Structure 1
Amino acid sequence: MTGFSRKARINGAKNDIATIDSLQFDLATIEAATSNFSINNKLRQGGFGEGTLANGLEIAVKRLSKGSVQGAKEFKNEAVLVAKLQHRNLVRLLGFCLEGEEKLLVYEFVPNKSLDYFLHDPVPEQKEKLDWSRRYKLIGGIARGIRYLHANSHFRIVHRDLKPRNILLDAMEPKISDFGVARIFEVDRTRGNTSRIVGTYGYMSPEYTMRGQFSVKSDVSSFGVLAIEIISGKRNNIFYQSGRAEDLLSYAWELWKEGKSLELIDPALRESYSEDEVVRCIQLGLLCVEQNPEDRPTMTSVLTMLTRHHLKLPLPQRPRFFIQTESDDHSHQSVNEVSISKQNPR
């Protein structure tokens, strides 16, 4: 669309500069807030550090890789775009810091730790805090957050690193965090390719892991893994069931095919769950990890199938997933480099 006046473009540029200035923190402020990035302030999830600004506001700071090839202007512009995202199921980006080799993202602080802490903690009492009602709400909340990224925000966003450590819990309300490896597309683009694979093995889609191809359906695949993990309480990337399956998704599919889906349930749930909801969520999770991206539902369809129980779900095929070998050292790889293109107005 054309027809913007020169004055409008100048005013728009001034507004962008003002927005960048309002979001930029100086390094001294962040160092003071985090006690100079003290290890005592390191948070469990994703390499974040906790801090408190002089005004008393608690923050979480993500220190990005110094090896990033991303330019300063690009980094600033992309931080501004991410800061515009506002949804109850997303952690809000408050600003950024760019000084010397330091590239920092400053997020709101979410005090109740990550889904990983509660779901995979060896202490049974932590897992028992996630009864089925809470787990079902977590699945729905995560789905709503991803749908916003894909369809309802100002940009078409592919997160690329959805995993339990990047789902923070605020009074047990899930919030998707860490947009350090996100890609944001123009409205007429739906997929991309890269030779630089970033994310976490066990949660990335097969086409991204093996061919560097990613799209919104890559996030759908990661959501499917999350759903199966929330139900089972087990990790996909270190799961092995002797004599049955070499990964959690194949194990879930085998049980579903045999009509034994309820055997997948986390023992911590005991009997406090709805059988219909559990079986439906397992089937939906398996649909999300279909090998062919085109066969996976959109997140809008996922939410429809979650909330309209009278709808009959399609039958899933056996999933194919990249399984980490003992020689891999990427079990928690999350290289933080973001590349974003602004979407054309709708």
Structure 2
Amino acid sequence: GNESTTLESLQFDFAKIEAATNRFAAENRIGKGGFGEVYKGILSDGQEIAVKRLTRSSVQGAVEFKNEVQVIAKLQHRNLVRLLGFCLEDEEKILIYDGYISPEYAMHGYFSVKSDVYSFGIMVLEIISGKRKGCSSELERVDDIRRYAWTKWADQTPLELMDPNIEGSYSQEEVIKYIHIGLLCVQENPDDRPTMATIAFYLNSPSINLPSPLEPPYFKRSGIEENMVSNNALDSNSISDSINGLSVTKFFPR
């Protein structure tokens, strides 16, 4: 009946998931737990996804797994992480989520208001960069928005994140502030993220010293670049007061 139709519409081919994650490449792995591993991926239509691959030794059988998928699909709320589907082939048991998934939900199934804050931060960074889901771009092929935004921030070139199509039609100072807020929202540890009330306060305060965003845990650079970042961009004594001639004293941590 209806239930089997719903399940069929949620089923993904393993080959499609393998292609989306570049055969579960190590650089696409964003988390690991007792249940298995979580990877980021991009579907052929450009949609970003989070792929939760359960360990083969998982005691959960195929029927139980399908039942769980059905329950998750029925309980979905517009503010919650969206389950796009599942894959059940041979020994593989995989859940596919919308790409806005927060690390703690992907790895442990924990969901809180701070998970919504994470999604909000990703959305802010995507809007600023013009790199939305479904559009083919260098960013989506190479990396994810969080790492890309952090790179620009650490290199003291946050305005390079901006969508070139709207260049000149915005306040540079405001944009740097929004990027800063976005990076605070997507920090790995939920406790480090601001609340939505705090975000509203940040947005409405014309002059405020924001805390420094923390580096994503999976962020990797070459040794030379790493030294440049630690000795330069993240050293409070040597942070430049000017980016493209703009004073950013308010927003860069001191």
TM-score by length of 2: 0.48
Bigger fraction of residues in helix: 2
TM-score by length of 1: 0.36
- The structure with higher relative contact order (CA 8 Å, sep 6+) is 1
